Amino acid sequence: MKMIMRENWQFPMNLQRKSNHLNSIILGIESTAHTAGVGIITSEGKILSNQRSMYIPEEGGIHPREAARHHSDTFPVLFDKAFKEASLKPSEISLVSYARGPGLGPCLRTGATAARAFAYSHGIPLIGVNHCVAHLEIGLLEGATDPVLLYLSGANTQVIAYASEKYRVFGETIDIGIGNGLDKFAREAGMGFPGGPKIEKLAKGPKLLDLPYSVKGMDMAFSGLMTAAKSKLDSGHSIETVTYSLQENAFAMSCEVAERALAHTGKTELVLGGGVACNERLREMATIMTEERGVKCFIPSKDLCVDNGVMIGWLGYRMVKGNYKITEEDNKVHQKYRTDMVEVTWR
């Protein structure tokens, strides 16, 4: 690969035109937390490949540096698999999009480095996008036009919708993310990581225990719920009953806030996103709530709900197509890149 010296390097603004081609093919790179993802999608929304690899810690939570090492080890394999599956050559890519935040610093930098190396060595324009907005905009590929997003992932728990040139956060967790909460409970109960799917398998009831239900205005809190669930387990309730009660409370809280955001904004579409949105009970609750309100519910396939490169590529394409101007900022990662910091110029 030809090295580009930093001091000689000029931001390739002129290359922006290349990505406006009708049949563009976009490469999306995800690395904000535990998942390294490489996706390839066309400007028509056809997914050509969605390669992912998740870092699973041997014990405890995610260690950012270890996760970043996992990503740098797996990116070459993921790139290779993606290009093989899509039957493409790197030169056929017209835009590289990567998640510049929010996320864990070392993980973000690994993804950004992979994105820059690929883009610059092939002379392709590079755009940095917001990970949370990507979870919402992949819902547009499913047919939504102006949805409320219920975004339930490991670190993030937000209810997001568009209003006045920004994606606004209508409600969010005021302590831990719902997924991290489920993972913490599961870890303490000896189930290992990731906890969400293990909890889902066990959550059979039959009893619904009295656990904290913490909706504060439009915000939610999950920490007390997880601690209370663990004490119920310690005091002799069955794991089936505790996990069932935990899910019922956590998901009802999330759906309540999403429903209020729908009522407040008058929007008529809900999109689910984030790893926790893989949960069948959550999907069922959201479906019931939206049916009762006469609102459409868009539930992306599980490999598009979890962190993935396809959604990053799709958002990058939508931004460029909508005349977003790539700047030097797109080169930089931003650990605390909040949803409502993004100027939505492309809608």
Instruction: Please tell me what DSSP assigns to residue 326.
Output: P
Cα separations in angstroms, 24 against 48, 98, 133, 151, 180: 12, 16, 21, 28, 37
Instruction: Please choose, out of 15-23, 174-182, 202-210, 237-245, the segment that lies near ligand AMP by the rule CB under 6 A.
Output: 174-182
Neighbouring CB atoms inside 10 A of 76's CB total 11
Please give the residues from 8 up to 37 whose contact with ligand AMP meets the rule CB under 6 A: 33, 35
Beta strand 148-152 pairing with 157-163: antiparallel
- Give 125 or 300: the residue with its C-beta nearer to ligand AMP: 300
Q: Residue 254 and residue 154: Cα distance in Å, rounded?
A: 14
Of 136 and 276, which has the nearer Cβ to ligand AMP? 276
Residues, the chain:
347
Residue 316 binds which entry of Mg ion, ligand AMP, none, CB below 5-8 Å type-dependent: none
Residues near Mg ion, by CB under 5 A = 153, 307
Report d(CA 25, CA 161) in Å as an integer.
Answer: 28
Binding mask 127-166 for ligand AMP (x = CB under 6 A): --------------------------xx------------
Distance CA 89, CA 324 (A): 26
Figure out which of the listed residues 139, 171, 179, 313 binds ligand AMP, where binding follows CB under 6 A: 179
Q: Least distance from C-beta 280 to ligand AMP, angstroms? A: 7
Does 276 interact with ligand AMP (rule: CB under 6 A)? yes
Smallest distance, ligand AMP to C-beta of residue 110, A: 16
Residue 162: phi, psi to the nearest 5? -80, 135
Q: Which of 307, 319, 320, 337 binds ligand AMP (CB under 6 A)?
A: 307
Strand partners, 41: 26, 47
For residues 114 and 32, the answer to whether their CB atoms sit within 8 Å is no
Interface residue with ligand AMP among 278, 297, 311, 315 (CB under 6 A) is 278
Phi-psi sector, 60: left (phi>0), alpha (psi -120 to 50), beta: left
* Phi/psi-derived region of residue 323, left when phi > 0, alpha when psi is between -120 and 50, beta in every other case: left
Residue 274 sits in the site that holds ligand AMP (CB under 6 A): yes
Q: Are 124 and 140 in contact (CB under 8 A)?
A: no
The reply on whether position 306 binds ligand AMP by CB under 6 A is yes
Residue span binding ligand AMP (CB under 6 A) among the ranges 5-13, 188-196, 286-294, 315-323: 188-196
Instruction: State both tokens at 11.
Output: 């931001």
Q: In the set 183, 248, 269, 330, which binds ligand AMP (CB under 6 A)?
A: 183
Site stretch for ligand AMP (CB under 6 A), options 64-72, 101-109, 139-147, 193-201: 193-201
> Which residues form the interface with ligand AMP (CB under 6 A)?
33, 35, 153-154, 179-180, 182-183, 194-197, 200, 274-276, 278-279, 306-307
